[in-house]
Structure 1
Amino acid sequence: MSLWPRFRHRRAIAFRFPCFRRIKRCADRSPRLPVARCIDRIAAELICPYPPGVPLLVPGERMDAQRCAWLDQQHRRWPDQVPGKVMVLA
């Protein structure tokens, strides 16, 4: 049996994972910074280029120096698919 019917509505997701509510609330007023300035900050948005559709950055993930350098390299390689700026929580 699939678990998807349980998570069909946003309220169900927010109820089961309260951290998503906090991230979304803070993301509405969070700054968009260049990737190089996001070291030791928490991501507020999803970066998921398509294709292949694999997330490179997930909301709530702490961005260390290695991850920021890698995202900057990916942006230089595919500027249309990977953004050079990221919304972060302060």
Structure 2
Amino acid sequence: MKSALIALSVLIVLSGCMGASSPVYWKHKTLPSSQWRTDQNRCKRAVDKHLGLDYRNHADQGLSMYDEQMRQYEVGKKQKKLLNSCMRRLGYVPMN
């Protein structure tokens, strides 16, 4: 029980760090602001496909709770980095 609480605490702290570094909105010089959500969703789908993420078929890999949380944290970092890169390639600038 104690190890589960420690793992949960680590996950909460790490997820807070992840959220702070990701832009909330994107701005483009020539496209209307209504377009960014569509482009962001397109980038997200491309990133998920690249990383092999399918949330409907997440197979249990037999990892401990801590290992699974750390795996999710690492995947989340890669996902955000690739998403940001995709949006920048489309000409968007992050707006916090």
TM-score bucket of the superposed structures, by smaller chain? under 0.3
Q: Which has the higher helix share?
A: 2
Larger Rg belongs to: 2
TM-score, normalised by the number of residues in structure 1? 0.27
> Which structure shows the higher strand fraction?
1
Larger RCO of the pair (alpha carbons < 8 Å, separation 6+)? 2
TM-score (norm 2): 0.26
